[in-house]
């Protein structure tokens, strides 16, 4: 069973952010680039990962190995579900400098074939109301744009 105790968002009132991009590859290749250590580290600079593609399996990308464990990246994040080549969902946390580090949100990625490759839609959701939640969503408005640019450039 997936521990949802760190996910406060629920119901119709959660807020979301949406980012979209088109990458020059087939949907299965785009999806695979998010689901294995070898593939994800070929485009997203995470020095260490712990990825085990199964519902409840870890989806951990460690970005800063010079700080204490628990603050290095997406420790504790897990896969929520997936459909090969079509959809991927995982929990996600805030970076250590934000007040809501211990509160998880979730990300849903969908991959759809289009004429020039794959349309990728990233929905990061589970944000609540309040100043700390505003800081959380604002951080990822920029961060996911950067990540998707890396992803697009990888397949260019």
CATH code for position 137: 3.30.530.20
Dihedral (CA of 126, 132, 136, 141) sign: positive
Is position 108 within any domain? yes
Q: Which domain holds residue 65?
A: 29-154
* Band (2; pLDDT cuts 50, 70, 90): confident
Q: What is the mean pLDDT of residues 127-145?
A: 97
Whether the predicted pLDDT of 1 surpasses 80: no
Is position 22 within any domain? no
Output the pLDDT for position 4.
87
Question: Total structural domains in the chain?
Answer: 1
Q: How far apart are CA 116 and CA 25, in angstroms?
A: 8
* Band (3; pLDDT cuts 50, 70, 90): confident
The residues pairing with 113 across neighbouring beta strands, listed in sequence order, are 118
Is position 47 within any domain? yes
Is position 40 within any domain? yes
pLDDT tens digits, one per residue of 75-86: 999 999 999 999
Please check whether residue 144 is in contact with residue 34, taking contact to mean a CB–CB distance below 8 angstroms. Answer: no
**Neighbouring residues of 48: CB distance < 8 A, sequence distance ≥ 6:** 62, 65, 72
Please check whether residue 22 is in contact with residue 100, taking contact to mean a CB–CB distance below 8 angstroms. Answer: no
Is position 23 within any domain? no
Output the pLDDT for position 24.
97
Mean model confidence pLDDT for the chain? 96
Does this model's pTM top 0.85? My answer is: yes
Is position 19 within any domain? no
Is position 137 within any domain? yes
Output the pLDDT for position 86.
98
């Amino acid at each position: 069973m997936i521990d949802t105790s760190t996910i406060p968002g629920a119901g119709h009132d959660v807020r979301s952010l949406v980012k979209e991009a088109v990458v020059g590859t087939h949907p299965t290749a785009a999806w695979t680039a998010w689901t294995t250590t070898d593939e994800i580290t070929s485009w997203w600079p995470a020095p260490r990962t712990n990825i085990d593609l199964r519902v409840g399996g870890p989806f951990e990308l460690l970005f800063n190995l010079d700080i204490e464990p628990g603050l290095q990246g997406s420790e504790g994040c897990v896969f929520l579900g997936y459909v090969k080549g079509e959809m991927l969902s995982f929990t996600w946390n805030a970076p250590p400098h934000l007040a809501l580090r211990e509160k998880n949100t979730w990300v849903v990625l969908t991959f759809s074939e289009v004429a020039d490759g794959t349309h990728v839609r990233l929905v990061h959701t589970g944000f609540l109301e309040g100043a700390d939640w505003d800081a959380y969503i604002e951080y990822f408005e920029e961060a996911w744009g950067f990540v998707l640019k890396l992803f697009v450039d990888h397949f260019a």
